[in-house]
Amino acid sequence: DVKVTQSSRYLVKRTGEKVFLECVQDMDHENMFWYRQDPGLGLRLIYFSYDVKMKEKGDIPEGYSVSREKKERFSLILESASTNQTSMYLCASSYKETQYFGPGTRLLVL
Amino acid sequence: SQKIEQNSEALNIQEGKTATLTCNYTNYSPAYLQWYRQDPGRGPVFLLLIRENEKEKRKERLKVTFDTTLKQSLFHITASQPADSATYLCALDPLTGGGNKLTFGTGTQLKVEL
């Protein structure tokens, strides 16, 4: 079974803090994705990566950066957290067309 | 502009009935469309994929249809059970960029009552 794990289920941070969200997959997938999910807006793609050290902006990259130093790990970085980044963050990896999601990190920025 | 529409209102049905969820899209020409299930506080889980040259696909109690002329997919759950209660998301490939990106609808919440 594919396993995608995320470093935290719940996280509370203060405005202006630098926040790291980690995602690890164990299936040697090339592609990895970061989404945020908000009520009424659905899943929105922040960044994705199709290979180590490669990254592409998604639909809402502003205020975020990513890092992929190893194939199995894809990190999302909030350089200076703001209250409008309070959300559910979901990581996924894909084999061909199908995406496999982690359990999500619910981030609250105060 | 490109849009994927799913009914935002929850669908309530009785146990044993067939649930039918709709996904409509505009200004996309997807090569395939997928359906995912999402339980509260969890990540989505892949259910089915249907390609543009397929009219219908089945998996156990699930059936998906794909009409590229109407730009619509229907997702059916037959003999529904309370355990089927969840939010169901449709997703399609936007055909922009690489990496097997998907664009998701906002989902429809299904509640199956006893």
Cβ atoms of B32 and B92 within 8 Å: the answer is: yes
What residues have CB less than 8 Å from A50, skipping those under 6 apart? A30, A31, A56, B98, B99
B49·A49 Cβ contact <8 A: no
Nearest-CB residue to B42 (from A33, A45, A103) = A103
Per-residue pLDDT of chain B (114 residues; tens, 9 = 90+): 788 999 888 999 999 999 999 999 998 888 899 999 999 999 999 999 999 999 899 999 999 999 999 999 999 999 999 999 999 999 998 766 566 789 999 999 999 999
Nearest-CB residue to A90 (from B34, B43, B106) = B43
Pairs of residues, one from chain A and one from chain B, whose beta carbons lie less than 8 Å apart:
59
Judged against a pLDDT cut of 70, whether residue A9 lies above it is answered with yes
DSSP A38-106: ETTTEEEEEEEEEETTEEEE-S--TTEEEEEEETTEEEEEESS--GGG-EEEEEEEEETTEEEE---EE
Q: Which residues pair with B97 in a beta bridge?
A: none
* B-proximal residues of A, 6-65, CB under 8 Å: 30-31, 33, 40-43, 45, 48-50, 56, 58
Q: Any idea what the CATH number is for the domain that residue A44 is in? A: 2.60.40.10
pLDDT of residue B98: 60
A97·B43 Cβ contact <8 A: no
Judged against a pLDDT cut of 80, whether residue A30 lies above it is answered with yes
pLDDT of residue B7: 87
A108 touches chain B (CB under 8 A): no
The whole domain housing A70 covers 4-109
B52 touches chain A (CB under 8 A): no
Judged against a pLDDT cut of 80, whether residue A2 lies above it is answered with no
pLDDT of residue A40: 87
Domain total of chain A: 1
Burial of A72 (0-12, 13-18, 19+ CB in 10 A): middle
**pLDDT > 90 fraction of chain A, expressed in percent and rounded:** 90
A84 touches chain B (CB under 8 A): no
What residues have CB less than 8 Å from B81, skipping those under 6 apart? B15, B112
Residues A38 and A19: their CA atoms lie apart, in Å, by: 19
Judged against a pLDDT cut of 80, whether residue A85 lies above it is answered with yes
Please give the order of strands across the beta sheet that includes B19-26: B3-6, B19-26, B72-77, B62-67, B56-59
